[in-house]
């Protein structure tokens, strides 16, 4: 499945599918990409925020229940626990700004790449999901979660965190 996350400034992104229907959004409360609110197609709202002493882990929660846990690694990747499964987000290529999501066996589940739009002075993201996770809520949350992961990893690589 193909999605596009359209940036409106640096703190608001709408995710659309191939039929130009909005499937979700990601809004940041501050300019740093660590605290955000994810809204899905069914108007379910999830809060994403860092936790822990060093703030290197993030939780995606709804009504106090954690749906996804994200943890930055020393190798500049991000471990994702979603729907009782373990995934990893890592760079696809050193010279390109694209990332991939792999499952426990190393199989590529999804891919995300960014392109900067000078007219909007914002990034747009192209997201491709190849294999469904199997949990309907996780599959619905995945495109917004990938945008959140990519922005957090880019901030980490640039030295913001």
Which tens digit of pLDDT belongs to each residue from 132-159?
A: 898 999 999 999 999 999 888 877 666 5
Strands 85-91 and 12-17: unpaired
- Where is 80: in which H helix or E strand? strand 78-82
Which tens digit of pLDDT belongs to each residue from 45-75?
A: 999 998 878 788 999 999 999 999 999 888 8
Check: CB of residue 117 under 8 Å from CB of residue 123.
yes
Strands 45-51 and 2-7: unpaired
Hey, what domains does the chain have and what are their CATH numbers?
2-158 (2.40.160.200)
Q: What is the spatial distance between Cα 95 and Cα 51, in angstroms, rounded to a whole number?
A: 31
């Amino acid at each position: 499945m193909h999605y596009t996350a359209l940036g409106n400034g640096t703190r608001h992104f709408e995710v659309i599918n191939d039929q130009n229907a909005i499937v979700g959004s990601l809004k940041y409360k501050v300019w740093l990409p660590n605290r955000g609110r994810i809204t899905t197609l069914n108007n379910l709202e999830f809060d994403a925020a860092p936790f822990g002493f060093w703030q290197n882990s993030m939780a995606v929660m709804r009504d106090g229940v954690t749906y996804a846990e994200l943890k930055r690694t020393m190798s500049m990747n991000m471990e994702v626990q979603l729907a009782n499964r373990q995934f990893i987000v890592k760079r696809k290529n050193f010279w390109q700004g694209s990332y991939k999501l792999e499952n426990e066996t190393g199989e590529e589940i999804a891919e995300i790449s960014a392109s900067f739009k000078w007219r909007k002075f914002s990034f747009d993201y192209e997201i491709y999901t190849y294999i469904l996770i199997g949990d309907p809520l996780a599959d619905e949350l995945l495109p917004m979660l990938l945008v959140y992961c990519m922005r957090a990893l880019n901030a980490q690589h640039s030295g913001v965190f």
